[in-house]
């Protein structure tokens, strides 16, 4: 009887010890779980802060972005200026071309107006001349018209090139033929097939000449 009660008492004490140890383990596990949850929460907060920081541009990145924007702005400004200059130049070319055309037309008109009196003289001569006037009168009329015509051309700066008796000059003359001649020095213009002209110091037609050997 005494032994039975003693065993029962021991068993009860073992149960109490086991229950106590179990409670301690549970408390320890709960404590670990709480610590783990806190650590996780802190890690999550830390990660979120890092993400936010990574989203915010650094000072260097800000400066680089501002430099890029500034360069883009300068490029666009230069492009606009260049396009304006190109447009201005195109307009200038058009104006210059139009002015040149008007100048040529005006010069041609002026020349024609100056030559019209010569045409009028020729028309009158043809209308009034008949065979009874004779060759002398014909020659006189032609000379008058020719003189007026030459006078008009001279006013525009046209001059005849000297040729016969001059030394051959390739800047003024075009040699058609070379012949032997004892009367003049070698390379002298002895005859002229077609007159040469210059307009305001510029040769516009070479004289076609025959030159001595």
Reduce the secondary structure of the chain to three states and give it as a string. CHHHHHHHHHHHHHHHHHHHHHHHHHHHHHHHHHHHHHHHHHHHHHHHHHHHHHHCCCHHHHHHHHHHHHHHHHHHHHHHHHHHHHHHHHHHHHHHHHHHHHHHHHHHHHHHHHHHHHHHHHHHHHHHCCHHHHHHHHHHHHHHHHHHHHHHHHHCCEEECCCCCCECCCCCEEEEEEECCCCCCCCEEEEEEECCEEECCEEEECEEEEEEC
Who wins on pLDDT, 36 or 77?
77
Average pLDDT, the chain: 76
Who wins on pLDDT, 132 or 139?
139
The confidence score (pLDDT) of residue 15 equals: 46
Split at pLDDT 50, 70, 90, the class of 38 is: low
Q: Which of 189, 191, 203 is nearest to 159 (CA)?
A: 203
The confidence score (pLDDT) of residue 212 equals: 94
The confidence score (pLDDT) of residue 22 equals: 53
Split at pLDDT 50, 70, 90, the class of 56 is: low
Q: Is the pLDDT of residue 173 over 70?
A: yes
Q: Is the pLDDT of residue 57 over 70?
A: no
Who wins on pLDDT, 204 or 113?
204
The confidence score (pLDDT) of residue 36 equals: 53
Who wins on pLDDT, 19 or 188?
188
pLDDT tens for 96-128 read 888 888 877 777 777 878 888 888 888 887 777
Split at pLDDT 50, 70, 90, the class of 205 is: very high
Q: Is the pLDDT of residue 197 over 60?
A: yes
The confidence score (pLDDT) of residue 120 equals: 85
Q: What percent of the chain has pLDDT over 70?
A: 67
The confidence score (pLDDT) of residue 37 equals: 54
Least confident stretch, 1-10, 47-56, 141-150: 1-10
The confidence score (pLDDT) of residue 193 equals: 92
Who wins on pLDDT, 2 or 199?
199
Full-model pTM:
0.48
């Amino acid at each position: 009887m005494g032994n039975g009660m003693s065993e029962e008492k021991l068993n009860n004490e073992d149960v109490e010890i086991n229950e106590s140890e179990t409670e301690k383990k549970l408390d320890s596990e709960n404590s670990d779980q709480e610590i783990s949850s806190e650590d996780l929460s802190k890690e999550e907060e830390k990660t979120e802060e890092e993400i936010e920081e990574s989203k915010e541009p650094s000072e260097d990145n800000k400066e680089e972005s501002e430099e890029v924007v500034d360069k883009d702005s300068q490029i666009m400004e230069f492009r606009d200026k260049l396009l304006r200059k190109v447009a201005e130049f195109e307009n200038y070319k058009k104006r210059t071309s139009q002015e040149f055309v008007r100048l040529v037309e005006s010069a041609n008109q002026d020349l024609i107006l100056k030559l019209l009196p010569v045409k009028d003289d020729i028309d009158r001569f043809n209308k009034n001349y008949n065979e009874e006037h004779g060759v002398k009168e014909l020659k006189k009329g032609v000379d008058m018209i020719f003189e007026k015509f030459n006078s008009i051309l001279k006013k525009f700066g046209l001059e005849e090139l000297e040729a016969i008796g001059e030394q051959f000059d390739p800047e003024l003359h075009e040699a058609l033929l070379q012949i032997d001649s004892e009367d003049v020095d070698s390379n002298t213009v002895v005859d002229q097939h077609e007159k040469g002209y210059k307009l305001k110091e510029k040769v516009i037609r070479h004289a076609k000449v025959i030159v001595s050997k």
